[in-house]
Amino acid sequence: APNERDRLRIAIQKSGRLSEPALALLAAAGLSWQESRDKQFYYGESLPIDLLLVRDDDIPGLIADGVCDLGMVGRNVLIEQQYERESRGQPRPFRELRGLGFGRCRLMFGIPEAWDWQPEVQLPGKRIATSYPALLGRWLQQRGIDATVVLMSGSVELAPRLGQADLVCDLVSSGGTLSANQLKPVEVVLDSEAVLAGPTESFADVRAGIAELLLRRLDGVMKIRD
């Protein structure tokens, strides 16, 4: 059973693209905080909702382990870790509760500018650089395409220029990074944005009511923003 608590704990990204918009959304929903000296923990003042500031990659695991009740994280990260767990035969411990409308981007194939895009013909035997091996692996598997996945934690778009890969599968927003590396975006693997993630099972204690109140407030804010 998850740890019992009488306050809700939300994980958000400590420093990165999602940090400011996540804090702004929570503030617009009426939350206010007292920051700890190391800025790792924000103690909720207006509501019994505390924030834990962490690396975005840690957020799904913190929910799975019951350390945090909710989290704001890119759908790309959440689904990648869900597929990873599924491939190890583990049950699904978290789910997407809401799309939050910020941090929009797409996981896409980027190919050399001179190529046509005929995945079934072109991809077999090729090396594809990505930070999302589970998402890419499932896409390839569903099409019966046998290609080599080259795992890179950053600077994925450099891989073709360095000869480490033939093409990439990476996050794209403006497309500027791809074109700066003489690559063109051709196909969307996943449409992503920041999401509110929570456990698969609902809360059995006072956190249920707090979470419900928070969701109502977030929905109100997002409706006005639309």
Nearer Cβ to ligand PRT (18/49): 18
- Rounded least distance, CB 63 to Zn ion, Å: 15
Q: Provide long-range contacts, Cβ within 8 A and 24+ apart, for 23-28.
A: 25/72, 25/100, 25/102, 25/218, 25/221, 25/222, 26/51, 28/221
Residue 220 CA to residue 146 CA, distance in Å, equals: 46
| Binding of ligand PRT by 16 (CB under 6 A) | yes
Contact 120, 145 (CB under 8 A): yes
Residues in contact with ligand PRT, shown as a per-residue x/- string from 167 to 186 under the rule CB under 6 A = ---xxxxxxxx---------
Residue 55 interacting with ligand PRT (CB under 6 A): yes
Helix or strand (DSSP H, E) at 134: helix 133-142
Among 2, 57, 95, 184, binds ligand PRT (CB under 6 A): 57
Q: Which stretch binds Zn ion (CB under 5 A): 26-34, 51-59, 111-119, 155-163?
A: 51-59
Of 114-173, which residues contact ligand PRT (CB under 6 A)?
170-173
**Cβ 83 to ligand PRT, closest distance in Å?**
15
Cβ neighbours around 174 below 10 Å, total: 8
Q: Which of 178, 199, 184, 28 is nearest to 102 (CA)?
A: 28
Q: Which of 7, 30, 41, 57 binds Zn ion (CB under 5 A)?
A: 57
Residue from 8, 23, 44, 56 that binds Zn ion (CB under 5 A)?
56
Q: Which does 171 bind (CB under 5 to 8 A by kind): Zn ion, ligand PRT, none?
A: ligand PRT
Token pair 């991809």 in the structure block, residue: 123
Residue located via tokens 């597929």: 83
Binding site residues, ligand PRT, CB under 6 A: 13, 16-18, 55-57, 74, 76-77, 103, 105, 170-177, 192
